[in-house]
Amino acid sequence: MAMRAAMASSILCVAACGGGGGAVKKSPSTGATTGTATATAETGTGTGTGTGTGEKDPHEWLEDVTGEKQLAWVKEKNAISQGELEATPGFEALRLRLLGIYDSKDKIPGVVVRGKWLYNFWKDEANPRGLWRRTTLAEYKKKNPKWDVVLDLDALGKAEGENWVWHGADCLFPKYEKCLLSLSRGGADADVVREFDTKTKQFVEGGFFLPEAKNNVGWVDEDTILVGSDFGPGSMTDSGYPRIVKEWKRGTPLAEAKTVFEGKPSDVSAYGFREFDHGRIRDWVGRSPSFFTSELFLREGDKLTRIEKPDDAGASAWDDQLLINLRSAWTIGDKTWPSGALLVTPLADFLAGKRDFTMLYEPRPNTSLDGYTGTKTAILVTELEDVKSRVYLHQRTRTGWKRTRVETPEVGAFGVSAYDEDRSDDFWFTETGFTTPTTLSLGNIKRKTREKLKQNPVFFDATGLESTQHFATSRDGTKVPYFQVSRTKLTLDGQNPTILNGYGGFEISMTPGYNSTAGAAWLERGGVLVIANIRGGGEYGPEWHKAALKHDRQRAYDDFIAIALDLVARKVTSPPKLGIIGGSNGGLLMGVMLVQRPDLFGAIVCQVPLLDMKRYHKLLAGASWMEEYGDPDKPEDWAVLSRFSPYQNVKAGVRYPRTLFTTSTRDDRVHPGHARKMVARMTEQGHDLLYYENIEGGHGGAADNKQTAYMFAMAYAFFAKQLGLPPAQGR
């Protein structure tokens, strides 16, 4: 929903967030053995070394992202890794197989409804950087719809000599003719904003333009936009995001734009947007003092009215209602609403001081709120029950709200989003599973129907595969779920090459889904895939996340270790056959596993990682994550961080599992210096490892399908070599 989406975009996360609030027409939210670990590593304790002791970090020079000497170092490391992995039997066949999957013309084209048009951004072999195109619903329902190309990004990049990567379009309701396009150089979070006319299919001469920055923009009306950008010294937060929101009139210098809201330098970000909803226009501004807190204000001219909610609660408006999603218990009078609940009340009543809520989602021990979306007359809520999706319909009646279970299969992951929010009761419904290709249907609340429109192709042979759920017992006795995808008659002899994937942070849930990459590169060849649902994620709501925050971070790592040990105990695999993979915060997880349990794994792929937890808050967006990890400058926080920070705990003389580190030069969210310095230190200590840094790609690691296919081919070729899996075959 509009406010919810805008707030999320203002608090940019480690994993995958982005975009800006802007003018919103309601929009809802895819083998080497190891040595024995030391007692210190096994218990997750330690003193920390290197930069943690105050000595000069000899590898800090690698933090200069684009320095000539630094890039020469990168190219040297890249050449070694590319030479080895490209020579791995089946590498090229696998790369081409994956590229064919990503470029498939039969995959579901995701769309955004804007008036009569359904807009889609599409990449394939002929259009590696992509086409922004549109069609009608009647056409979209056809097997091969006709598309009207609005912008060819490859042609634009060629004409302008730029390696543009699409970051999205914010179009002005209700005609959607004027749009603010966000274009990134090479995939970085920072982008350039340019005004575009969808009628003429041209950029507007003399139109709104913002130079490269971590911009946050959106429409107020045809001649006015709200802007958060780098206006000069003091205009950005310590985390590198906009601190000031301005109202900019067409035809006037940006320097003369009126400031309408300011956050603090220590905030994560400040934001503002106009919302069009059920015939109403509302203006909102707000600030995020930390990653999981926000202050939200209804703006009426120069008057700001604060939404008096708990700072760590989310809020959104739908029709004449206010929805509040709690992250902590909230006591009002003699009533306490539980952490994780979704509450609703009339907005006017709330602003008048009333606090009479209805609870649309009530947390239970094995459930969590996965998301919600509003249509014209109803609210759809998606819940997770032991990490399995359930969907419920909430409708207003004369006596209150009526809750009805939406008929769905018992097993699978489901996604629900409004088709055209306040003007339709249609909704998009997606269904996916580990071995079932994603399907897209169009449902209608009043008719209680769902029309299947599209289905992704079968990208790998799932014959004889099954997905099962298991629970491991963590060190403190907590039961931690995980999914296993493997052969139905798997031989339990400890010899199955297995990949364990984890994240465990920022309240992000790891839910079932059709993974065509892992399917083609691993499962089809006999490998086992395991998905960990460790604490720090959102699988069981805010408390599951909070259980592994800051000083309790070790619990997430204990959970992951427990799952690995359970796989070994069940004889699914054994340490020499067990590989692990994770990116971003999951890359930190990989680094911690490397230094804490080198005896437990045979190979590690560590992607776009945080690794130097002494300096993470000083690098790019790192300051915005201190609510998750803690502040290294505080002795009490560093005492905890120093025990697991990979860069400070890696040592000479320990036999570590062979690791492939990957990152991107253009990642301006998690600094590539983390991976660079870790590799430099480990190389200096004499450890055997590989490193690959994509020059483009941003935090996603790759800027187009070709780069993505290459990166994943490297990862799975590495696993196959280290864990002992037959070479990939073409198809």
At 590, list the tokens: 């990989």
To the query of whether residue 545 is one of the catalytic residues in this protein, the response is no
Q: What pLDDT, on a 0 to 100 scale, did the predictor assign at position 42? A: 28
Does residue 380 contact residue 391 with C-beta atoms inside 8 Å? Answer: yes
**Model pLDDT, residue 43:** 29
Give pLDDT, residue 288. 97
Identify the CATH number of the domain defined by range 1-29+172-312.
2.130.10.120
Strand partners, 330: 337
41 vs 566, which has greater pLDDT?
Answer: 566
- pLDDT at residue 562 in the model: 98
- Catalytic residue at 584? yes
Cα–Cα distance measured from residue 601 to residue 500, given in angstroms and rounded to the nearest whole number: 10
Cα–Cα–Cα angle for 702, 708, 709, nearest 5°?
Answer: 160
Catalytic residue among 617, 674, 687, 699: 699
CA distance 618 to 627: 14
Long-range contacts of 201-207, Cβ-Cβ distance < 8 Å, separation of 24 or more: 201/150, 201/151, 204/178, 206/251, 207/250
pLDDT at 348: 98
Instruction: Give the pLDDT of residue 703.
Output: 73
Question: Quick one: pLDDT band at residue 29, thresholds 50, 70, 90?
Answer: very low
Q: Which of 512, 530, 539 is nearest to 433 (CA)?
A: 512
From the number of C-beta atoms within 10 Å of its C-beta (0-12, 13-18, 19+), residue 606 rates as buried
pLDDT of residue 728: 61
Residue pair 389/412 in contact by the 8 Å Cβ criterion: yes
Query: Who's near 179: CB < 8 A, 6+ residues apart?
Result: 169, 170, 171, 172, 195, 196, 197, 198
Enclosing H/E stretch for 474: none
- Cα 412 to chain centroid distance, Å, stands at 20
- Whether residue 12 is predicted with pLDDT greater than 60 in this model: the reply is no
pTM: 0.90
Tokens for 436, please give them. Answer: 């079932």
Res 40: pLDDT: 26
C-alpha dihedral sign at 222, 228, 232, 234? positive
Q: What's the pLDDT at 695?
A: 84
Q: What is the pLDDT of residues 254-305, one digit of tens each?
A: 999 999 999 999 999 999 999 999 999 999 999 999 999 999 999 999 999 9
| Domain ranges within the chain, ordered by starting residue | 1-29+172-312, 459-573
Average pLDDT over residues 20-36: 30
Q: Which two tokens stand for residue 475?
A: 């060190």
Q: Kindly tell me if the per-residue pLDDT of 5 is higher than 60.
A: no
End-to-end CA distance of the chain: 42
Q: pLDDT by residue (tens digit) across 510-541?
A: 999 999 999 999 999 999 999 999 999 999 99
Name the class of domain 459-573.
alpha beta
Averaged pLDDT, 624-650: 97
Answer yes or no: is pLDDT of 34 > 50: no
E strands, 291-377, are 293-300, 303-306, 314-318, 321-325, 330-332, 335-337, 342-346, 358-361, 367-374
Is 74 a residue whose pLDDT tops 60?
A: yes
Confidence of residue 36 (pLDDT cuts 50, 70, 90): very low
Torsion of CA 501, 507, 512, 514, to 10 degrees: -80
Q: What is the DSSP letter of 730?
A: -
Q: How confident is the model at residue 55 (pLDDT cuts 50, 70, 90)?
A: confident
Per-residue pLDDT at 422 exceeds 90: no
Q: Dihedral through CA 621, CA 627, CA 632, CA 637, nearest 10?
A: -170
**Tens of pLDDT, residues 138-166:** 999 999 999 999 999 999 999 999 999 99
* pLDDT exceeds cutoff 80 at 615: yes
Does residue 15 register a pLDDT over 50? Answer: no
Sorting pLDDT into bands at 50, 70 and 90, what band is 175?
very high
Q: Which of 474, 584, 624, 642 is catalytic?
A: 584
Task: Kindly report the number of other CB atoms within 10 A of residue 241's CB atom.
Answer: 27
pLDDT in tens, 483-496: 999 999 999 999 99
Mean pLDDT of the chain: 91
pLDDT reading at 35 higher than 60: no
- Residue 25 has a pLDDT of 41
